[in-house]
Structure 1
Amino acid sequence: MSVSRTADDIKVNIEVPYLSQTNNKYEPYSACNITCTAMCLKKFGIAGDGSEAQLEDQLYNKALVTGWNRFSPQGIKSLIESYGLTDRLNINAGTHDIYKSLDEGRPVIIHGFFTDPGHIIVIKGHTEKGHFVVHDPYGDLIANGWYYDINNSTEPHRGENLIYSKWLIGAACGSWSSGEAKVWYQTINHSELMAIENMWIHSVGL
């Protein structure tokens, strides 16, 4: 079990369907962006146009056709809002912005250096002690070794409803590289966590 796990009560847990990126039709190992987008769209009842079996594969094609960069915050925002939802994109966010969004019933898509090139997950809730309930489309990050227990065909839901600590989210999402994140995770304290103002988050809702 990862050291990112904590034992306290869940305070907020928004109902969001879980999707794994590893079974996507197109470029599954770089599809965290559209997979997280699809999770949040499905939370609000959006299924897409049926052009592909999976909504995330529809989003992949839509990004190609429109020219929206699915690797950029603005590209993800454009995809979300093209379906009639609102995306309160904040590229100078802190953990307080995440809690505020969750308390309003709005799931959060967030970028962090959970992997060397960077990775995107959905935050769907938080605990009484401020740790986060997440859907990680790639699998389960084992934070004490900083490696993934990756989703596969027999276990496609390893990344569903995980608890990632506020220290992990702070270090991974407040750093500028995976190397920095791995080091900072070992030492990050409360004042440093509260001072973070460089996360980029999508607060998704109606």
Structure 2
Amino acid sequence: MWRDGEERGPIDFVQVFQSYKALPHQNAALNWLEQASQPKTLEGFFRMWRDWQAVPKSNTIRLKVPYYQQVDNRYEPMRTCNTSSCAMVARFLGAKISGDDEYYKIVRKYGDTTDHTAQTKALAQIGIKSTWHTNLGFADLDKSLEAGLPIVIGILHRGTLASPTGGHMIVVIGRTGRRDYICHDPFGSLLDAGGGYRGPVNNGNGVVYPRSVLNHRWLPEGKNSGWGRLFYKR
């Protein structure tokens, strides 16, 4: 029953709020509704409204980054994860390279494949701007992915989650709806049965690494302790 006694059916509040334009009569109606509502009703409404606004984006993102294995590299196949990872992103961003073998030759002009400064200079030569960091976190991954940019990160790929060791570079190419991360791992998959990297190398193509795993293997010293390379649009 409406205030004038006329039966008009239930109020569609979604439609009401869609037509809200902060007009004087609309504000007056909202003020009246606030005064007429029970405190618990208002508390529940505002809590749901606030929490809904705070929900982070959770849609799946998967960038179309090419996958390069490192184990088939012509040069130093067991230690060129950094070069293969950077080459994947460079090709995605439009660099005119045929693959990671060609890119390796450019890297060697500036230093070793494991040298992050050499990688920065090699990428710059082929028109790719990037920066190396040692203080990244999940928020940086999300921001970059949402901008359409992959990230190369350094993980501890050996040992247990409790005591991770090693050093390995991979590419983060996306994020699942559960906020785990889709990766191109040039050496295979950490998640292979029996301790990781025991199955076909192609298992690393688009492998989903859970956030819980990366917490240990990418952020072993805290939430902003991640090593990684950020890229910028050309």
TM-score, length basis structure 1: 0.74
Deviation for aligned residue 1:91: 1.6
Amino acid at match of 1:158: N
**Runs of 4+ in structure 1 displaced over 4 angstroms?**
none
Secondary structure at the aligned position of 1:57 is classed as helix
Amino acid at match of 1:106: L
How many residues align structurally? Answer: 170
Q: Contact conserved, 1:14 with 1:125, CA < 8 A, in 2? A: yes
Residues in 1 aligned to 2:227 and 2:116: alpha-carbon distance in whole angstroms: 8
5+ residue gaps, structure 2, are 1-57, 159-164
5+ residue gaps, structure 1, are 1-8, 49-53, 177-194
Which residue matches 2:147? Answer: 104
Which structure carries more strand by proportion? 1
Residues in 2 aligned to 1:199 and 1:75: alpha-carbon distance in whole angstroms: 20
Deviation for aligned residue 1:76: 2.2
Q: Contact conserved, 1:13 with 1:125, CA < 8 A, in 2? A: yes
Q: How does 1:81-92 map to 2 (within 5 A)?
A: 81-92=124-135
Deviation for aligned residue 1:64: 2.1
Q: Please give the per-residue CA displacement for 1:63-107, whole angstroms capped at 9, x wherever unaligned.
A: 22223x431332222222221122143221111111111111110
Residues in 2 aligned to 1:62 and 1:129: alpha-carbon distance in whole angstroms: 38
Q: Contact conserved, 2:144 with 2:150, CA < 8 A, in 1? A: yes
Kindly indicate whether residue 129 of structure 2 is the aligned counterpart of residue 129 of structure 1: no
Decide which of 65, 68, 75 is 1:19's aligned counterpart. Answer: 68
Q: Contact conserved, 2:192 with 2:198, CA < 8 A, in 1? A: no
Which residue matches 1:149? Answer: 198
Using CA pairs under 8 Å that are at least 6 residues apart, name the structure with larger relative contact order, 1 or 2: 1
Q: Contact conserved, 2:96 with 2:126, CA < 8 A, in 1? A: no
Residues in 2 aligned to 1:10 and 1:19: alpha-carbon distance in whole angstroms: 26
Secondary structure at the aligned position of 2:117 is classed as helix
Residues in 2 aligned to 1:126 and 1:148: alpha-carbon distance in whole angstroms: 22
Decide which of 192, 204, 210 is 1:165's aligned counterpart. Answer: 210
Kindly indicate whether residue 225 of structure 2 is the aligned counterpart of residue 198 of structure 1: yes
Deviation for aligned residue 1:59: 2.4
Q: Over aligned residue pairs, what C-alpha RMSD do you find? A: 2.1
TM-score, length basis structure 2: 0.66
Residues in 2 aligned to 1:139 and 1:57: alpha-carbon distance in whole angstroms: 18
Aligned-residue sequence identity (percent) comes to 25
Residues in 1 aligned to 2:191 and 2:84: alpha-carbon distance in whole angstroms: 21
Deviation for aligned residue 1:199: 0.8
Kindly indicate whether residue 113 of structure 2 is the aligned counterpart of residue 70 of structure 1: yes
Which residue matches 2:100? Answer: 56
